[in-house]
Amino acid sequence: MTSSLDTLARQFRERGHKLTQPRRAILRTLLAASRPLSPAEIQEYGQSYCQDLGLVTVYRTLELLEDLDLVRAVHVAQNCHGYALSTPGHTHHVVCERCHAVVEIVGCELGDFLDSVAERTGYAITGHWLEISGICAECRANERQDSTTL
Amino acid sequence: MTSSLDTLARQFRERGHKLTQPRRAILRTLLAASRPLSPAEIQEYGQSYCQDLGLVTVYRTLELLEDLDLVRAVHVAQNCHGYALSTPGHTHHVVCERCHAVVEIVGCELGDFLDSVAERTGYAITGHWLEISGICAECRANERQDSTTL
DNA sequence: ATGAGTGCAAACCGTTTGCAATCGG
DNA sequence: CCGATTGCAAACGGTTTGCACTCAT
């Protein structure tokens, strides 16, 4: 399911890019992440793998990883960009409003719907972006607890 | 279908806000728009209705309009925020990649899908955002023409 | 050895804030 | 009239760029 560091590293080199310490740190960070991270977060967490990882390098590496389709940018509410490793195939995210935990929905069941959209609008559909928000089981449990405590 | 300036203005006043020239210009601009506009674009186009419409006012008014649910922020690829009048009820957009024309899909047929997502993930689903991209009939026609011309 | 990749500092750009002047009800 | 609203200038925060140094191959 999830790619390993080796797999990512290989794909990286195969396409003619050097696998430096900073880049390795960024890949490790993304692998360990349970939700999309902002560039600043990637720098912060990445520094545990590469002491002086610079924010600029994070930006440049993310751009490269996006080009290689190894990472995808997702729209997260507040200040827009979050980055997560892309999983093979087409997926959608369900994001918890409280704790920002992300669950991926693998497989996309929108095919029929999109066909009907194409028919109704006359557009040739080339892509779509679906983001679902909700509250995860854990946060709901916590909220129930809080309300009894109040 | 689409609200008129009067309707918007009324809702605006009913909730205790003053309807100033700058605000009226912003509403007019949004009404006339065929796609989500960035704050800067709203200022630019809005100046034809209100000479010295300031960008700051655009930001503050958009924030207010969002609170009132008269406008919704949509995620547009490049630099994130676009704003469009919200239509009553839940809708999705189909955006043309070439000319940015927007068609709204009224009514949302994702109910069953979302139910199954809730079941599979344990999340209580609170909302979703779907944006579909494609190429509109007109642009496809133009492209066919271009390719014959070349 | 050498060019790709890096970090730093500074530029850049969209957004927000403080404030005195203005306008709408 | 009086407070909500405005525009300006300045602050702010995230992102990008120029440049000299370094590292992976």
Q: How far is CA A125 from CA A9, A25, B138, in A?
A: 34, 37, 14
Contact yes or no for B131 and A128 at CB 8 A: yes
Over residues B110-133, the mean pLDDT reads: 84
Query: Could you tell me the pLDDT band of residue B113, with boundaries at 50, 70 and 90?
Result: confident
Contact yes or no for B130 and A130 at CB 8 A: yes
Q: When comparing pLDDT for A92 and A27, which is higher?
A: A27
Over residues A89-110, the mean pLDDT reads: 72
Is the shortest CB-to-strand distance from B75 to strand C under 7 Å? Answer: no
Q: When comparing pLDDT for B75 and B20, which is higher?
A: B20
Give chain A's length: 150
For domain A5-148, the question of CATH label 1.10.10.10 is answered with yes
In chain B, positions 5-64, which contact chain A (CB-CB < 8 Å)? none
Query: Could you tell me the pLDDT band of residue B143, with boundaries at 50, 70 and 90?
Result: confident
Span of A6-10, A25-29, A71-75, B57-61 with lowest mean pLDDT: A71-75
| Residue B135, C-beta contacts closer than 8 angstroms, at least 6 positions apart | A123, A124, A126, B96, B97, B98, B143
Over residues B75-102, the mean pLDDT reads: 68
Query: Could you tell me the pLDDT band of residue A24, with boundaries at 50, 70 and 90?
Result: very high
Q: When comparing pLDDT for A60 and A134, which is higher?
A: A60
Report pLDDT for B41. Answer: 93
Query: Could you tell me the pLDDT band of residue B44, with boundaries at 50, 70 and 90?
Result: very high
Q: Is the pLDDT of residue A7 over 80?
A: yes
A129, containing H or E segment:
strand A124-135
Query: Could you tell me the pLDDT band of residue B87, with boundaries at 50, 70 and 90?
Result: low
Q: When comparing pLDDT for B143 and B116, which is higher?
A: B116
Cut 0.95: pTM above it = no
In chain B, where are the structural domains located? 5-148
Report pLDDT for A82. Answer: 72
In chain A, positions 84-113, which contact chain B (CB-CB < 8 Å)? 94, 96-97, 103, 105, 109-110, 113
> With contacts defined as CB-CB under 8 Å, which chain B residues touch A144?
none
Query: What is the layout of strands, in order, in the sheet containing B124-135?
Result: A102-106, A91-96, A124-135, B124-135, B91-96, B102-106
CA–chain centroid gap for B39, Å, is: 12
Residue B64 is given by DSSP the state H
Note the CA–C1' distance, A57 to D21, in angstroms: 15
Q: Is the pLDDT of residue A88 over 60?
A: no
- Output Rg (C-alpha) for chain A, integer angstroms: 18
What is chain A's mean pLDDT, rounded?
82
Span of A1-10, A36-45, A53-62, A82-91 with lowest mean pLDDT: A82-91
| Distance in angstroms (rounded) separating the CA atoms of residues A57 and B141 | 43
| Distance in angstroms (rounded) separating the CA atoms of residues A30 and B125 | 26
Over residues A53-79, the mean pLDDT reads: 85
Report pLDDT for A113. Answer: 86
Note the CA–C1' distance, A120 to D7, in angstroms: 46
Q: State the burial class of residue A81 (Cβ atoms within 10 Å of its Cβ: 0-12, 13-18, 19+).
A: middle
Over residues B41-59, the mean pLDDT reads: 95
- Can you tell me whether residue B56 is helix, strand or coil? helix
CA distance B66 to chain A (A): 14
**CA proximity to A78, closest of B80, B130, B32:** B80
Report pLDDT for A49. Answer: 96
| Distance in angstroms (rounded) separating the CA atoms of residues B130 and A112 | 15
> With contacts defined as CB-CB under 8 Å, which chain A residues touch B122?
136-137
By percentage, how much of chain A surpasses pLDDT 90?
Answer: 33
**CA proximity to A1, closest of A69, A88, A78:** A88
> With contacts defined as CB-CB under 8 Å, which chain B residues touch A131?
128-130
| Distance in angstroms (rounded) separating the CA atoms of residues B130 and A35 | 20
Q: And the tokens for B21?
A: 């020239």
Query: Could you tell me the pLDDT band of residue B148, with boundaries at 50, 70 and 90?
Result: low
CA distance B72 to chain A (A): 13
